[in-house]
Structure 1
Amino acid sequence: MVTSAAVRRATRWQDSVRLLLLIDAAAGPIADGEWVPPSTVGVVHTQVRLQKLDFWVRNPDYLAYELMNEYVATPDVPRLLELAAEILGSEEPDLRRFPMLRYKYGAFEELDDALAPLVERGLLRKTQLLGRERVVEHIYFLLERGRQVAKSMVAEAPALAWYVERTRLVVDLVDGLGGTQLKDRQYLLRDYADTPWGQHIGAITEQARERLRELQAALGPGATGNSDKEAS
């Protein structure tokens, strides 16, 4: 568990940029007959899915652990293990980490403040589907201007390329899965599931590095193309 004094927070600008790039990566095609605002180029369905994708972008150690899970399921794709080793062998788990709270549906953070500038500038639109007693779905529409701005930002600020690469990696890793499926996958890790409601989900960097060492040892020396120091 992460205490409030230890929590590292992103600025509103950082949150807005990260979410724009994540929505740009995650936005799927418009379904036949689906209502969308003018100039929509892609759609992200459900806040749960967006929150769970954002959790892996903001917590590289958890992403590395998930890459290892995928590697165990598909050992004929060694690149998955190599990516996990690259993440865990760098300072990324510390430098890129922005913890999230755990609530009923897992990792959560209010999105309205970060999304508001994007909506105000005509980059995104969002709406809600209402049930009889509550909101049943949040929908996020990426507008043409939003896609253009996402591309121009990276061209003007090359340091943002990391977010482009990372958001695409996260989206590709769970291509086709909905929010509930992502929530269930994240709950498989006890450190995540056992975090009390309203508390920040703690890091698992050392746990992930230990698992990486075990997987690399099972392959034998030099099998992954990564040195042992990457997991140290």
Structure 2
Amino acid sequence: MGASAAVRRASRWQDSVRLLLLINAAAKPPADREVVPPLTVGVVRTQVRLQKLDFWVRNPDYLAYELMNEYEATPDVPRLLEVAAEILESEEPDLRRFPMLRYKYGAFEELDDALAPLVERGLLRKTQVLGHERVVEHIYFLLEQGRQVAQSMVAEAPALAWYAVRTRLVVDLVDGLGGSQLKDRQYLLRDYADTPWGRHIGPITGQARERLRELQAAQRP
């Protein structure tokens, strides 16, 4: 890709809103006897998982490619191909794309700045599990007020409905998979895996559209 200065970036507000809606979609109810902050309504485990889910929200062409992978594995669910087509036959891959850097564990962007306003406003809490030499797990706690804000935000600002729908689609697509499993799936694409460390992961829109045409052609009698 070009110089970093030319890379399209979201504002801090956009990042915070997107992550709140993503955490709201991804959060699972606390397990029995799990120690959580007061008023916790959901838990998201591992920064790696949150980063990988966020990558698909921010890169619609990669999400469409993953939907096509799922369609080929389960061709009796044509809706998967239909949603991929809705994405790729629109301007969404360009209009909604916010690139991420590639590091050791795949797509990455520092989350602290975007999460800080959510923590400050009592919408979210987060903690770290420490190992002998490093952090081994990040845990994100969605608080009751955070869920209320996520729901009211979409109701009051219909333009945010896309994010609510998209985050739910991404979460449902890979429900039950952990961060390492998501990382491995994303690394299956050569464009992603071959991106040098510290460089932005480039688009695959043309490649995804070509694959879509092939799958649509194979559907025709």
Shared fold per TM-score greater than 0.5: yes
Q: Deviation digits for residues 109-159 of structure 1, max 9, x if unmatched?
A: 000000000000000000000000000000000000000000111111000
Structure 2 distance, partners of 1:207, 1:190, is 11
In structure 2, the residue matched to 1:14 is: 14
| Map 1:109-188 → 2, pairs under 5 A | 109-188=109-188
Q: TM-score, normalised by structure 1?
A: 0.94
Please, which moves more after superposition, 88-97 or 24-33? 24-33
SS in 1 for 2:146: helix
In structure 1, the residue matched to 2:25 is: 25
Structure 1 distance, partners of 2:96, 2:208, is 16
Q: Report the Cα offset of residue 34 of structure 1.
A: 1.2
Structure 1 distance, partners of 2:34, 2:204, is 40
Structure 2 distance, partners of 1:38, 1:192, is 40
Q: Report the Cα offset of residue 61 of structure 1.
A: 0.1
Q: TM-score, normalised by structure 2?
A: 0.99
In structure 2, the residue matched to 1:67 is: 67
Could you tell me which runs of 5 or more consecutive residues in structure 2 were left unpaired when the two chains were aligned. Answer: none
Please, which moves more after superposition, 201-210 or 5-14? 5-14
Q: What is the aligned length? A: 221
Structure 2 distance, partners of 1:6, 1:121, is 32
Structure 2 distance, partners of 1:48, 1:2, is 26
In structure 2, the residue matched to 1:227 is: none
> Do 1:100 and 1:201's aligned partners in 2 also have CA atoms closer than 8 Å?
yes
In structure 2, the residue matched to 1:224 is: none
| Map 1:43-54 → 2, pairs under 5 A | 43-54=43-54
Q: Report the Cα offset of residue 2 of structure 1.
A: 4.8
Could you tell me which runs of 5 or more consecutive residues in structure 1 were left unpaired when the two chains were aligned. Answer: 222-232
Structure 2 distance, partners of 1:208, 1:2, is 21
Q: Deviation digits for residues 153-202 of structure 1, max 9, x if unmatched?
A: 11110000000000000000000000000000000000000000000000
In structure 2, the residue matched to 1:78 is: 78
| Map 1:101-112 → 2, pairs under 5 A | 101-112=101-112
- Of all paired residues, the percent bearing the same amino acid is 89
> Do 1:2 and 1:199's aligned partners in 2 also have CA atoms closer than 8 Å?
no
Structure 2 distance, partners of 1:18, 1:100, is 14
The yes-or-no answer on 1:38 pairing with 2:32 is: no
Q: Report the Cα offset of residue 29 of structure 1.
A: 1.5
SS in 2 for 1:128: strand
Structure 1 distance, partners of 2:216, 2:107, is 30
The yes-or-no answer on 1:55 pairing with 2:52 is: no
RMSD: 0.8
Q: Report the Cα offset of residue 3 of structure 1.
A: 3.4
> Do 1:29 and 1:42's aligned partners in 2 also have CA atoms closer than 8 Å?
yes
Q: Report the Cα offset of residue 4 of structure 1.
A: 1.5
Give the letter for the 1:8 counterpart. Answer: R
